[in-house]
Chain A
């Protein structure tokens, strides 16, 4: 158990809908990262937050957004969902957020029908 929690574990929704994925980092970690794992794209970095501020953006679609709250938990919002958004979404955390080991949560498996 990495200490990173993610909810829900599974999510099934329809195209055009909006969903919110939630992540709680390990105790003491200030940095949160979101990654997407899909069959065609592999594991891709989406976005990083550090202590409530956005620190880096990767290949994140405009339909996706994220935020980190004062209690350091983070949410990833996916809107206008398409079939191709079906993937495993991971959250990871680290203490500071620079060249550190990132510890991953169990992931949220999203299926868009």
Chain B
């Protein structure tokens, strides 16, 4: 069964600090996708990034970067030079190919990031 673990419940940083959010997943599938979503205080879920199981190339997009390592089943997310607007709950999610034609997302419990001045 698929499972996503976000061990960090809450992280507090001061603005301009770098912060890494951890995500560990479990799956028996060889084909799967990993996602990060952001949920700001307003409540909506905002898509950030998607990675498939065959693409371990790490990516940097502005202040965001992602580190995908199949060997450790981890898909970590780093914010460089954090800003107050980054304050949100961040969710890691997994979608497996083996679920047939369906493609539900299995979410972790989320990490609440608080960035203060």
Residue ID in chain A nearest B33 by CB atoms: A99
User: In the complex, A100 Cα to B102 Cα: how many Å?
Assistant: 10
Judged by a CB distance under 8 angstroms, whether B81 is at the interface is no
Q: Are B97 and A48 in contact (CB under 8 A)?
A: no
- A106 and B102 contact, CB distance less than 8 A: no
- Chain B interface size, as a band, is 20 to 34
Does A42 count as interface, using CB distance less than 8 angstroms? yes
Contact B102–A48 (Cβ < 8 Å): yes
Task: Tell me which residues across on chain B come within 8 A of A55, comparing CB atoms.
Answer: 101-102
> Does B107 lie within 8 Å of A42, measured CB to CB?
yes
Partner of B106, one of A45, A92, A94, A101: A45
- Number of residues from A at the complex interface, CB < 8 A: 29
Q: Which of A42, A90, A102 contacts B109 (CB 8 A)?
A: A42
A103 x B102 contact (CB < 8 A): no
- A105 neighbours in B (Cβ, 8 Å): 44
The smallest C-beta distance from B93 to any residue of chain A, in angstroms, reads 8
**Complex formed: what's the CA distance from A58 to B1 in Å?**
13
With A33-B104, A45-B105, A97-B101 as contacts: A2 and B44 at CB distance below 8 Å: yes
Contact B95 A45 (CB under 8 A): no
Question: Which of B44, B95, B107 contacts A106 (CB under 8 A)?
Answer: B44
Given B43, B91, B100, B102, which contacts A43 in the complex, CB threshold below 8 Å?
Answer: B91
